[in-house]
Amino acid sequence: MSLLKSRRLWLATAIAATLIASAAGAADVDAATTTPLAAAPTSPPASYPNPGTVTGNTGTHDPSAVKTPAGGYIVAYTGANIQLKTSSDRTAWRNAGAAFPSGASWTLPYTGGSNQLWAPDISYHNGTYYMYYAASTFGSNHSAIFLATSSTGASGSWSNKGLVIETTTSSNYNAIDPNLVIDASGGWWLSLGSFWTGIKLVKINPSTGLRADSTVRPIAQRTGSSTAIEAPYIFRHGSYYYLWVSFDLCCRGASSTYRIMVGRSTSITGPYTDRNGTAMTSGGGTQVLATHGSIHGPGHQAVLADNDGEVLFYHYYANSGASYLGINLVGYDSAGWPFVY
């Protein structure tokens, strides 16, 4: 509880710093080179790469990305009434307003009156943009995940489709950090969870985008002294479903210890195991990216299939303590385990 509370209490400060940094064009970000468009390597680099080049308004927290039918990009992220950014080339980004510029009154019972909405997950299916997002209060698992849809993805175009799942203070998990995944058979699923007993999976009705049944399936949990696991993202590559998560603590600026971990399964419902064969429900996870140099606490990741390969989006903290958008390409080694380059 105290770790999660620390995370949420820092968030308001982080968002303010992010907006300031974004307006300044992310001048504090270290320079990095963009990987040329080529076949993905099969051997990881000798050390963690810096984020690829991004320019413009890059201050971001908890990003999720979608490619539009026209070939551009939308990033949705934590902020006042969910914040949006757009890009035509995945490099230059601009602010694109709030998803709900008039507010989201239906979330207020969960946010204590705050307009700060968390960890949106944006995707595009059958001509419609879907966005799952969380509403909660600092340090509490009295939380809810809602769904909104849009035909354009633009600010002000999003319609509330209702409550998907909620937790109360008597629940043993937390209904935040949603991610929609479609399995190989066309089934829809939503992963979610933060701290407590970890990451869960619920089935979604594709016709409504809401829950299809009442079953909550456990798929990952930290064991031992820390319960710090959150931000699940499931991505299918080859014959595996890869469960990406963030371990440890975000939202502490340059002192953040977030790190990106992964496990995999041949079934959407698990069991997910790491490279060593340890179940993710028993604390397993293979590290993919962590603090290095002036890149602090990379995490809250999302994976996007693009023309040049699979792309990892995430946030990280600069030395100043502000959070920025990080983008790298994803490769797979000879054993099928992902790395970033």
Q: Delineate the domains of the chain, giving CATH numbers in brackets.
A: 2-340 (2.115.10.20)
Tokens matching residue 138: 């600092």
Q: Is 30 noted as a catalytic residue in this protein? A: no
What gap in Å lies between CA 141 and CA 4, rounded to an integer?
Answer: 10
User: Residue 262 pairs with which residues in a beta bridge?
Assistant: 244, 286
- How much of the chain, in percent, has pLDDT values that exceed 90? 87
SS3 79: strand
User: Residue 263 pairs with which residues in a beta bridge?
Assistant: 243
At residue 137, the pLDDT reads 87
At residue 103, the pLDDT reads 98
Tokens matching residue 236: 């299918």
Q: Are 245 and 220 in contact (CB under 8 A)?
A: yes
| Ordered per-residue pLDDT tens for the chain, 341 residues | 434 434 444 444 444 444 434 443 333 333 233 334 457 899 999 999 999 999 999 999 999 999 999 999 999 999 999 999 999 999 999 999 999 999 999 999 999 999 999 999 999 999 999 999 999 988 899 999 999 999 999 999 999 999 999 999 999 999 999 999 999 999 999 999 999 999 999 999 999 999 999 999 999 999 989 999 999 999 999 999 999 999 999 999 999 999 999 999 999 999 999 999 999 999 999 999 999 999 999 999 999 999 999 999 999 999 999 999 999 999 999 999 999 99
Catalytic residue, candidates 62, 121, 248, 274: 62
**297-307: string of b/e by CB count within 10 Å (b at 16+)?**
bbbbbbbbeee
Catalytic residue, candidates 121, 177, 230, 310: 230
In angstroms, how far apart are the furthest CA atoms of the chain? Answer: 51
At residue 9, the pLDDT reads 42
Closest CA to 183 of 129, 98, 243: 243
Q: Is 62 noted as a catalytic residue in this protein? A: yes
Cα–Cα distance list, 191 to 70, 94, 132 (Å): 28, 29, 11
At residue 239, the pLDDT reads 97
What gap in Å lies between CA 182 and CA 26, rounded to an integer?
Answer: 34
